[in-house]
Amino acid sequence: MKSILKVAFVLLACLALAPVSLFAQGSVTGFVYADANANGKRDTSERGIGRVAVSNGVEVVLTDASGRYTLPIANDTTIFVIKPAGYNVPRNELNQPQYFYVHKPSGSPRLQYKAFDPTGPLPASVDFGLSPASDDKKFTALVFGDPQPYTIEEVNYFARGIVAEVKGIKNVAFGLALGDIVGDDLDLFPPYSKAVAEVGIPWYNVYGNHDMNFDAKTDELADETFEYNFGPADYAFVYGDAHFIVLDDVLYPDPRDGEGYWGGFRKDQLDFVENYLRTVPKDKLIVLSVHIPLFHQNENTFRNSDRQRLFDLLREFPNTLSMSAHTHIQRHNFYGKEDGFDREKPHHEYNAGTTSGDWYSGEITAAGVPDSTMRDGTPRGYAFLNIEGNKYTIEYKAAEKPRDYQIRISHPKLIATPGWVTGAIFANFFMGYKTDRVEYKIGSGDWRPMTHVETFDPSYAWSVLKWDVTDTLFPGRRPSNPINSTHIWRGAIPRDLPLGEHRVEVRATDMFGKVHTQSSSFRVVPRIEIK
């Protein structure tokens, strides 16, 4: 009897020390099952699928052999299945994957933009149906940076200038937009969704700093309208051997002063990453997708402690990649031990060029949209992420250009001889990194190495200056001023070239071993003497 009383006393003591939130929560249960007839409900003949990850946004559990899961749930929780390899989740009429259940019995707080009405009582079973798929270990994903339309006219620019180019694309598994889906006007979410649905593939979205409910009082509630239109801002899915983790890395309001935003994560978000990675074999490829790049020059842009914890979680996985956007330029960032990433192989972040380019500025193109070349000289465009097993390559596609257009060459059109040659040959290798090999040759001469320099793209600088010296205004809007680019190379023009036309060829080998070439030409002419 004494031993029974002792056990009871210990249990009561433990309960007394338990957090109050434990009692405020209930639990949700359900099944992940093979939806053989694709009717969206579990029929008695349809089997459950074991060892599938399901999450409430923090905890992650694997289904048992019968496909059942159980998770804690509070009054503002989204339950979602993490699509496993070899299966697909349903899509709605906008090609948006439907892998989640939103539980908000009180609805969203009153906000400027539409969010959730009360969702009602929790169902007895929250089930997720999956359909078998030939989930190849070799696949391609389509990546958009910052569509970011501020008006319906700019939604149409996005549709005509980007979506029309990839509409009906084949052999692409899914698409992913890396945040800033719109430009502050959240009523543009539906027309954006209608436009991007025309691509015809499953489409995922990342939450950006222009996708927020600015009238939200806490960071947890700043994504209400995003979630209403697209689903949770933090989630994951699997294709082949690649595990994609999508995170909101915008802290709003800024926890330092309550004004503006700051790059970083809440603790519960990183807890989700930690809990999910516990279920992932170490040899898999981890692809992190965020909006604000992890790169920073000081604490003002990204909270150091959050980045460090993320790096600590990824450290044990030898194959990792991050993708971000936000900057409206294109660059590669590599994080090594000096940056807190304690692994021999640095962590690669691809900071993608954007589909809106330089915010829909510049002269109007043949497609009837602004040219919108970015400040570092990268053309408006999109990327292809190619994955095979746990390896990846990335290609950038300039909008309205051939797929092999990877380098812009700048040089004088005319070289006067004899005399000093003050001009040079510049190559903007859009996907380049400073350690890449870039060479040039003139005519039938030998290949010579070009020197990596951080400077502005001369061609882009001229396209901006045109707006300042013209006597007749162009349609469109003046582009932003040029900035130094991380992917410019320079080569000298020899002084002893003969008169006539000379062909310039540039050859660049990217970090994935692929060789790209581009050519141009200039003329050497006699110098006009001053009389």
Specify if 497 maps to a domain. yes
What's the confidence (pLDDT) of residue 221?
Answer: 97
Residues 326 and 445 in one domain: no
Specify if 118 maps to a domain. no
- CATH number of the CATH domain containing 34: 2.60.40.10
- CATH number of the CATH domain containing 273: 3.60.21.10
Domain that holds residue 497: 407-526
Specify if 254 maps to a domain. yes
Residue-wise pLDDT for 382-425, tens only, equals 999 999 999 999 999 999 999 999 999 999 999 888 877 888 99
Cα–Cα separations (whole angstroms), residue 296 to 262, 287, 300, 335, 454: 12, 20, 8, 11, 18
Helices 304-314, 267-277: axis angle to 10 degrees equals 10
Residues 224 and 321 in one domain: yes
Residues 92 and 148 in one domain: no
Average pLDDT, the chain: 93
Tell me which of 379, 398, 417 is where a domain ends.
398
What's the confidence (pLDDT) of residue 467?
Answer: 93
Residues 41 and 83 in one domain: yes
Residues 298 and 392 in one domain: yes
- Most confident among 8-22, 96-110, 288-302 (mean pLDDT): 96-110
What letter represents residue 406's amino acid? Q
Could you tell me which residues come within 8 angstroms of residue 153 by beta carbon, excluding any fewer than 6 positions away?
Answer: none
The mean pLDDT of 250-276, rounded to a whole number, is 96
Specify if 270 maps to a domain. yes
Tell me which of 128, 151, 170 is where a domain ends.
128
Tell me which of 101, 128, 155 is where a domain ends.
128
The mean pLDDT of 70-96, rounded to a whole number, is 97
Residues 296 and 423 in one domain: no
What's the confidence (pLDDT) of residue 474?
Answer: 86
Look at the chain and report how many structural domains it folds into. 3
Contact call for residues 279 and 53 (beta carbons, < 8 A): yes
The mean pLDDT of 271-297, rounded to a whole number, is 94
Residues 240 and 324 in one domain: yes
Specify if 4 maps to a domain. no
What's the confidence (pLDDT) of residue 4?
Answer: 43
- pLDDT band per the 50, 70, 90 thresholds, residue 5: very low
Q: Are strands 174-177 and 203-205 parallel, antiparallel or unpaired?
A: parallel
Q: Are strands 285-289 and 242-246 parallel, antiparallel or unpaired?
A: parallel
Residues 306 and 254 in one domain: yes
Residues 235 and 367 in one domain: yes
What's the confidence (pLDDT) of residue 38?
Answer: 87
Specify if 60 maps to a domain. yes
Q: Tokens in use for 302? A: 């990204």
Residues 486 and 517 in one domain: yes
Residue 402, preceding bond cis, omega within 30 degrees?
Answer: no
| Radius of gyration, CA atoms only, the chain | 27
What's the confidence (pLDDT) of residue 15?
Answer: 36
- How far is Cα 410 from Cα 478, in angstroms, rounded to an integer? 21
- pLDDT band per the 50, 70, 90 thresholds, residue 6: very low
